[in-house]
C-alpha cells in the first residue's frame, strides 16, 4: 500500500482530489482501484452500485482492507507467496482457509458453493462447548473452572455453598481497588499487563 501511495501516478490522482488526503480515505481509494481490476471485484463493484448505495461499497472496501491487513500480519509467508490479486475475494478465501486450518474452525462450505462469498465479519464461534448467551447450561453441569469464574464474577453469588467452600469468597473489587489493580497490571512487564482487558467495564 505504501509503495502505491508513493508512485507518481497515484500521488497525482490523490493531489487532484483533496478529499482523499487522509490515510483512511486514501487507503479505501487505493483498495478500490486495485480491487476492481479483478474480475470478481469488478462484478461486485457493479452489483454494489446498482443494488446498494455508496455507503455499503465503502464498508466493503474497509472490510477488504482489514482482511488484507490480517492476512499480511498473521500469515506473512503465505501472503508474500500468494498468486491471488491483492484485496480480491480469492485472497480473502485463502485467508479464511488459513484461519480455519491454523487458528480456529471456520465454516468453509460457503466458499466452495459461491466464489463471491465473503464474511462481513470473521465468526469466532464454535470454539468451546458452552453457549453463554442464553444461559443454556445449568450451573451444576459446568466444569469446575467455569463454576469458579461465574462465582468470582458475581454472576452466581450463592454458588460457593455448592462448591464445598466454608465461607463466601471476597466481594468484587470496588472502584478504588480496580484502579490500583489496573495500574499494577499496566506497569508489569509480563503479559499480566493485558489482564484488565478481559473484564467488561
Using one digit for the tens of pLDDT, what is the confidence trace for 56-107? Answer: 777 888 888 889 889 999 999 999 999 888 888 889 999 999 999 998 888 8
Task: Please indicate, yes or no, whether residues 157 and 108 belong to a single structural domain of this protein.
Answer: no
- Is 70 among the domain residues? yes
Q: Of 80 and 1, which is predicted with more confidence?
A: 80
Q: Determine the structural domain holding residue 80 and report its residue range.
A: 2-113
Tell me how many domains the chain contains: 2
Q: Is the pTM of this model over 0.75?
A: no
Helix (H) / strand (E) containing 13: helix 8-16
The yes-or-no verdict on residue 7 having pLDDT over 60 is no
12: cell is 497525482
User: Nearest to residue 87, comparing CAs of 45, 140, 147, 137?
Assistant: 45
Write the CB contacts of 37 (distance below 8 Å, at least 6 apart in sequence).
Answer: 85
State the Rg of the chain over Cα.
24
Residue 121 counted as domain residue: no
Per-residue DSSP letter, 1: -
Alpha-carbon gap, residue 159 to 17, rounded angstroms: 63
- Residue 66 neighbours by CB distance under 10 Å: 13
Which tens digit of pLDDT belongs to each residue from 114-123?
888 889 888 7
**Residue 105 within any structural domain of the chain:** yes
Amino acid at each position: 500500500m505504501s509503495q502505491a501511495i508513493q508512485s507518481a501516478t497515484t500521488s497525482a490522482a490523490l493531489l487532484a482530489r483533496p478529499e482523499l488526503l487522509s490515510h483512511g480515505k486514501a487507503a479505501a481509494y487505493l483498495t478500490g482501484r486495485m480491487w476492481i481490476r479483478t474480475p470478481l471485484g469488478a462484478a461486485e463493484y457493479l452489483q454494489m452500485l446498482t443494488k446498494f448505495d455508496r455507503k455499503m461499497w465503502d464498508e466493503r472496501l474497509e472490510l477488504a482492507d482489514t482482511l488484507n491487513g490480517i492476512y499480511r500480519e498473521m500469515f506473512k509467508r503465505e501472503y508474500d507467496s500468494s498468486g491471488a490479486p491483492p484485496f480480491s475475494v480469492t485472497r480473502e478465501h485463502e485467508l479464511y482457509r488459513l484461519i480455519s486450518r491454523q487458528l480456529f474452525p471456520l465454516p468453509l462450505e460457503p466458499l466452495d458453493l459461491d466464489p463471491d462469498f465473503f464474511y462481513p465479519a470473521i465468526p469466532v464461534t464454535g470454539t468451546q462447548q458452552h453457549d453463554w448467551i442464553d444461559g443454556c447450561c445449568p450451573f451444576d453441569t459446568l466444569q469446575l473452572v467455569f463454576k469458579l469464574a461465574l462465582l468470582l464474577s458475581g454472576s452466581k453469588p450463592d454458588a460457593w455453598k455448592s462448591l464445598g467452600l466454608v465461607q463466601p469468597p471476597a466481594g468484587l473489587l470496588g472502584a478504588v481497588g480496580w484502579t490500583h489493580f489496573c495500574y499494577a497490571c499496566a506497569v508489569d512487564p509480563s503479559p499480566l499487563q493485558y489482564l484488565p482487558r478481559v473484564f467488561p467495564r
